[in-house]
Amino acid sequence: MEFKQSSEQTLGALMRLGFSQYEARAYCALVETSPMNGHEVSKASGIPPSKIYETLQRLEAKGAVLKTRSEPVQYTASPHTKLMSALRQRFETDLATAETGLSELPTSRPNGLIWSLRTTESVISAFCDTIDNATSEIHAALWDAELEHVAPSLERASRRGIQVHVAIYGKHTLDGPVCYDLTLCGESALKRLNGRRLSAIVADQTKTVIAEFHTDNSVEALTTDSPLMSLLTVEYIKGDVLGRLLINQMGQDHFEHIRQTSPSMRTLLDPVTKGKTTPKAQTKQ
């Protein structure tokens, strides 16, 4: 009897359910052909003869294999439907026990830790979690690309009575939250930051997620419950909004004139080179 290569997906699923690799291979071999003696199971599964009997013994303890008491000893697979049902029941029982036990444990999370996020998926997930867990207010500064994913969470938060303020660097609109059109600020920021986008969400002045999206689709981001980071981020968002409101009042042409003629304004709004060094501050003698 030759070794048969079982589906990698099937073997992987059994291993995630608590089977060792040898146990998964032996069980699959017996599902395909039963009954077999230990030597035949070894050949059919590709398990070394020195390991086959301890593997079959463990499968018998799991209820996955039955063996005869006659000579030679024969092994057969328990019906897979019965085995899966037992595993499912055990998994659900263990899951419920773990959930109950974990919910009863006292939790103590140090305040102010900063956690790094390195994928767009993890950033979007952190944005949505922060919004969904807000209890009083949300301040956000977002671009269209991020709003495609988090807009439903922001609108749900508004419907449940959360004060939601969103600075939008783009054309996206929201139903419910107070929105501020920062399209022109966004265009200016893209030039100043060489195509990079900064997005941020703060919930309840305590939970903050800040992300920098790069032109190569990579991302650098952090999430924290530091009150200082929350304060800085909220003030950054308010500053962008207030700046836009002031420009609207003075007129875009007047602002552009100041921007072109004021050396300090040009310095502040020049494109930023990442990693650019700045002159060292001189120490007063």
* Complete domains list, the chain, with CATH: 8-80 (1.10.10.10), 114-269 (3.30.870.10)
List the single range of 4-18, 118-132, 243-257, 260-274 with lowest mean pLDDT.
260-274
Which of 35, 50, 44, 36 is CA-nearest to residue 5?
A: 44
Mean predicted lDDT score pLDDT of the chain: 88
Higher pLDDT, 254 or 59: 59
181: its two tokens: 């059109």
Look at residue 110 and tell me whether its pLDDT is greater than 60: no
Which pLDDT score is estimated for 191?
A: 84
Q: What angle do CA 274, 280, 285 make, to 5 degrees?
A: 165
220 has which bridge partners?
Answer: 212
Q: Using CA atoms, how far apart are residues 45 and 53, in angstroms rounded to an integer?
A: 13
Look at residue 280 and tell me whether its pLDDT is greater than 50: no
105 CB contacts (<8 Å, ≥6 apart)? Answer: none
Q: Using CA atoms, how far apart are residues 79 and 75, in angstroms rounded to an integer?
A: 13
Q: What is the DSSP letter of 283?
A: P
In the three-class reduction of DSSP (H, G, I as helix; E, B as strand; rest coil), residue 238 is classed as helix
Which pLDDT score is estimated for 248?
A: 78
Residue 114, amino acid: I
Alpha helix positions (H), 105-119: none
Which pLDDT score is estimated for 250?
A: 84
What average pLDDT does range 271-282 have in this prediction?
49
Which pLDDT score is estimated for 284?
A: 38
Look at residue 241 and tell me whether its pLDDT is greater than 80: yes
238 CB contacts (<8 Å, ≥6 apart)? Answer: 139
At 261, is the pLDDT very low, low, confident or very high (cuts 50, 70, 90)? confident
Which pLDDT score is estimated for 13?
A: 93
Which of 85, 87, 67 is CA-nearest to residue 76?
A: 67
Which pLDDT score is estimated for 274?
A: 57
Q: pLDDT by residue (tens digit) across 62-99?
A: 999 999 888 889 999 999 999 999 999 999 999 999 99
H or E stretch at 67: strand 65-67
Pairing of strands 75-77, 163-169: unpaired
Look at residue 5 and tell me whether its pLDDT is greater than 60: no
What average pLDDT does range 206-233 have in this prediction?
95
Q: How far apart are the first and last CA of the chain?
A: 90
189: its two tokens: 């920021």
Q: What is the DSSP string of 172-221?
A: ---SSSEEEE-HHHHHHHHHHTTT-EEEEEEETTTEEEEEEE-TTS-EEE
Burial letters for 240-262: b for 16+ Cβ neighbours within 10 Å, e otherwise? bbeebeebeeeeeeebeeeeeee
93: its two tokens: 């029982």
At 271, is the pLDDT very low, low, confident or very high (cuts 50, 70, 90)? confident
Which pLDDT score is estimated for 48?
A: 95
Q: pLDDT by residue (tens digit) across 121-178?
A: 999 999 999 999 999 999 999 999 999 999 999 999 999 999 999 999 999 999 999 9
